[in-house]
Amino acid sequence: MNHILHVVGARPNFVKAAPVLRVIRERGIRQTLVHTGQHYDRNMSDVFFTQLEIPEPDVNLEVGSGSHALQTAEIMRRFEAVILERKPDLVLVYGDVNSTVAAALVCSKLLIRVGHVEAGLRSFDRTMPEEINRIVTDQLSDILFTPSQDGDANLLREGMPREQIHFVGNVMIDSLIRLLPVAKSCARNGLPERFALVTLHRPSNVDDAERLREILECLTNVSEKLNIIFPVHPRTRQRIVEFGMNTDRLLLFDPMPYIEFLSLQSCAAVVITDSGGIQEETTYLGVPCLTMRTNTERPITVTAGTNILIGDDRKRLIAEVRNILDGNAKKGVTPPLWDGHTGERIADILQQM
């Protein structure tokens, strides 16, 4: 394996790619980093590169936002020229964003091998665009790196060869473990001592006015007992303004860099979210997590971790917050191989090829 090309495009990709990039660099293997530009504002992109010590991308496709079809097509169009010029032995893609599936499609047609980091995760909900991206990427990939053993089971059930599947653990936790000491030293000037941390961005929660209003009213109710810190995703902020929502009782912030957000996660009384990655991070941190979804592609965070699926049940959200404040939070354990060495295991497998 002489030349590995990495594709990243959105904030979760950066957290997953950083440990792999670092280990492969230390082992002297040539690598190229391609940033599709799927996320392009500073808090959602550039500052993550700095904090995670990711090198400056060799190529930035500067795709920007757009519908799923337009964004995926534009990434494919621009990425094909990069592959033809660079001629890597293997392309590593991360997670489940449009950049991931677009790169996998291009490589499969050009007969370039693909490795998928975070393979095998399934929500079994095809109304989620990410679920389609996960399924297609896995089917096109030659090497499948799974974060948990349910991923292996999903891939085997879908007919993927056993020899292509490698249970390596959760590479996001590599970044968390490495930067947690720095995060814990962050000053929290002016922020409340005890608080709930909230993130919301999924279309099913924020694009429907009635659903978003119900969630915000529920958070306002929770704020009577616990301060709410809410870093607001650009999509969510746009909907709050568009729908004329009342957020007076909530502490709204712009999206936060990785270390600052990790600092808040690590000391939150509870995290309320619809993010997949945050379900994993809170499980490792032992912080209670209430997920505003009816399903999750990371079921190990529910069966072994601190995560509870709330769905659309606002009464249950309030009840679970009350349980947490009363000292009855759900306890969890750290899943197997979430130990900070996943990047090394991935590099070991690549070197053996």
Given a contact cutoff of 8 angstroms between Cβ atoms, the answer to whether 332 and 306 are in contact is yes
Calculate mean pLDDT across residues 318-337: 96
How confident is residue 42, by pLDDT bands cut at 50, 70 and 90?
A: low
Q: Is the fold of 3-169+338-352 the same as that of 182-325?
A: yes
Which superfamily does 3-169+338-352 belong to? Glycogen Phosphorylase B; (3.40.50.2000)
What is the reported pLDDT for 326? Answer: 95
Cα–Cα distance for residue pair 345/211, rounded to 1 Å: 42
CATH architecture of 182-325: 3-Layer(aba) Sandwich (3.40)
pLDDT digits (tens, 9 = 90+) for 162-207: 999 999 999 999 999 999 999 999 988 788 999 999 999 999 999 9
pLDDT tens by residue, 87-137: 999 999 999 999 999 999 999 999 999 999 999 999 999 999 999 999 999
Which residues does 184 contact at the CB level (< 8 Å), separation at least 6?
Answer: 263, 266, 267
- Global pTM reads 0.95
Tokens 């060869």 — which residue?
Answer: 161
Show contacts of 218-225: CB within 8 Å, 24+ apart. 218/314, 218/317, 218/318, 219/249, 219/250, 219/272, 220/246, 220/249, 220/250, 221/318, 222/196, 222/272, 222/317, 222/318, 222/321, 223/249, 223/250, 225/321, 225/322, 225/325
Residues 239-288: tens digit of each pLDDT: 999 999 999 999 999 999 999 999 999 999 999 999 999 999 999 999 99
At 43 the pLDDT is 54
Active-site residue list = 201
Domain segments of the chain as ranges:
3-169+338-352, 182-325
